[in-house]
Structures are given as structure tokens and as C-alpha cells.
Amino acid sequence: MLLPAEPLMTEHRLIERMIKLMAQELNKIKKDNDVNKKFIETAADFLRTYADRCHHGKEEDILFRNLAKKKLSAEHEKIMGELIKEHVLGRKNVSKLIDANYSYSKGDKKSIDDIISNMEILVRFYPMHIEKEDKRFFIPCMNYFNNQEKANMLNEFWEFDKKLIHEKYAKIVENIEAG
């Protein structure tokens, strides 16, 4: 039986690939003192949509919600609280990166420092966050659920993913309509 932890850990592998690309781009920015605005836009969209809305969304809206109904060990309770706070930190830094990239694209060359600092935070943050989830949380937490509960979570994950693309593009159309 596929565990609900497995799709989440598979998503981690893709996030790690983007973080590696961001680290490479960060080195280029530092070396050239110039920003590839399109790369930053794409990376920020990936982090906001895939890493946060899709991946963290499944964790928060499905896994954590279901874990909150269980009697967790003190360690797992503590880690879950840390993960929730880390998700908020990631969101804030992605927003700051987007704002700095926008300022840079409007000619504010001083924004390069904000781009660098927020990319550095994200490039350091995600590997540690992922390692915590992979090695200390996801697999052990599966023991709190019976097979039917695990199957139900997997079904919720698939439904969550199916709705996500419609949510993203409906928001794009709404933003254009709003002018």
C-alpha cells in the first residue's frame, strides 16, 4: 500500500531540484551583480504554487488536520508546530523575493541585495525543512493511522491536486478581469 508520506516525499525531490537551480542562479547574481528577472519570477511562482500551495497545502489541509485528531508524541507535536511556523517563514520570504524582483525590474538596482538575501534564506531553508519532514516526521507519523485512514488521505491528496490547477488559472483570469 502506498503511504500518504510517499507522494509528499516525491514532491520534495522536485522542490530540491528547483532549490539547486536557485543556488546556481544565486551564485550568478553574486558574480555578475545582475538578476535574471524571468528566472526569479519562475522560481517564485514554483515555490508559491507548487512548494507552498500544492505541497504545504496537502500537509496543512490534510495531513496535519488528520494528525491533530490523534494523540501525538510530544516530539511529533513539537515538530508539527515547527513545520507550520517554517511554512509561514517560507511564504514570507517568497513574497519578499517577489517584491524585490518587481522593484529591481522597475529599475531599483538596490533591490539586488534583497533578492540575494531572500534567495539565500530560501536556499538554506528548504533543504533543512525537507530533511526534517523526510527523516523525522512523515514516516513515523504514518503509524498514527490505520490503512483506511491512509487510503482516505491519499484520495484527498489526489483530489487536492486535481483542483489546484483550476484554482491557479481561475485566479489569473480574475486578476486580469479586475484590471
Q: Which CATH number fits domain 5-173: 1.10.10.10, 1.20.120.520, 3.40.47.10, 2.102.10.10?
A: 1.20.120.520
How many whole angstroms separate alpha carbon 108 and alpha carbon 37?
A: 12
How many whole angstroms separate alpha carbon 25 and alpha carbon 11?
A: 21
Query: Of 40-44, 57-61, 142-146, 167-171, which range is least confident?
Result: 167-171
CB 134 within 8 A of CB 9: yes
Query: Of 3-7, 121-125, 126-130, 141-145, which range is least confident?
Result: 3-7
Helix (H, G, I), strand (E, B) or coil at 109: coil
pLDDT over 90, % of the chain: 88
Residue type, 58: K
Given a cut of 80, whether residue 1 has pLDDT beyond it is: no
Q: What is the pLDDT of residue 55?
A: 95
Report the candidate in 133, 129, 116, 54 with the shortest Cα–Cα distance to residue 90: 129
Ordered by start, the domain boundaries in the chain are 5-173
Q: What is the pTM of this model?
A: 0.92
pLDDT band at 167 (very low <50, low <70, confident <90, very high): confident
Q: In this predicted model, what pLDDT tens digit does every residue of 67-118 receive, in sequence order?
A: 999 999 999 999 999 999 999 999 999 999 999 999 999 999 999 999 999 9
**Region 164-178: what's the mean pLDDT?**
86
Q: What is the pLDDT of residue 16?
A: 97
